[in-house]
Chains A and B, each alone.
Chain A
Amino acid sequence: MTFAPSASYSQFVDEIEGTFADPEWTALGLVLYPSNFDYSDKRPAEYLVLEILPSDALTDSQWGGGTRIGGLLIIQIYIPVNTGSRRVYAIADNLDDVLQKKVLGYNIQTGGSSIQLKGNDPDNPALFRADYTVRFNSY
């Protein structure tokens, strides 16, 4: 039995962010920013923000000392207010196509997704926010 090599946080982030450079994703035409990115001057009417939360890092000595990292991918979805929530679910379907139940490099495996409707964005009352969440683990 072989095990995946240990990966650093940076390598995990590179692997996950690289997903959004794939043609399968770019063809969707959705505007996605990473967290900590200044987009306020030209904030579009609809966009997404990616947060990677590697919250469950542990070194598993029983399985050869490789580092296993698990956590959450949260994609904040912003759409115009007063337009209903159907657009949120349509975007979530797009996200499912590229993120849900996938196997990436370093044996990163993503699970099922969920959506939380968060309500109006306090920073911009013209926007409504929902969070799309996928749990991931590396084995």
Chain B
Amino acid sequence: MTSSLVHTGVAMAFDILQGMGLTQQFDFILNTDRTYDWDTGDVGETDTTISFQGVLEEINIEQETGTDASDMLENPRVKAIIDKTELNGVDYSRFDSFITDAISYSIVEFVDNQYSLEITGVQE
């Protein structure tokens, strides 16, 4: 089976999930663009946001063996699963955090299996 067939299959799977209402919007915030004002010495920062549909998976304590349970309760983790073809060449390593369901998460891990991207975030 060629990789393009797998890509197509993964895209279809995400389409089906979207049709079932199981995907949601993730707003990823890219590392800020920093500028320097040579007249005043002020440093400017501009956030850039890019949005994708994806699947939200909540990570429970049992899945996080070896993790301090109290830390998990205070700082819940979730995983955003995105169809990689949706990224369309965007450099995801510049993602700094994401917002979904009006909750902000700091990104702590990326897992890229070439077909989907799993992004783990800790609630801020």
Contact = CB atoms under 8 A, between A and B. Distances in A.
Contacts of B37: 21
Interface stretch (B28-36, B63-71, B80-88, B98-106): B28-36
24 contacts: A13-B41, A14-B41, A17-B38, A17-B39, A17-B41, A18-B38, A18-B39, A19-B38, A20-B38, A21-B37, A21-B38, A21-B39, A32-B38, A33-B36, A34-B36, A37-B34, A37-B36, A37-B43, A38-B34, A39-B34, A41-B31, A41-B94, A42-B31, A42-B33
B122 to A, nearest CB: 20
Interface of B: 31, 33-34, 36-39, 41, 43, 94
Contacts of A14: 41
Interface in A19-46: 19-21, 32-34, 37-39, 41-42
**For the side of the interface on A, what is the size category?**
10 to 19
Given A21-B37, A37-B36, A42-B33, 7 more contacts: A17-B39, A17-B41, A21-B38, A21-B39, A32-B38, A41-B31, A41-B94
Nearest to B33: A42
Contacts of A37: 34, 36, 43
Q: Which secondary structure dominates where chain A touches chain B? A: helix
Interface of A: 13-14, 17-21, 32-34, 37-39, 41-42
Nearest to A13: B41
Contacts of A18: 38-39
Contacts of B94: 41
Nearest to A16: B38
B28 to A, nearest CB: 15
Contacts of B36: 33-34, 37
B17 to A, nearest CB: 32
B32 to A, nearest CB: 8
Which 4 pairs from chain A and chain B are nearest by CB? A21-B38, A20-B38, A21-B39, A41-B31
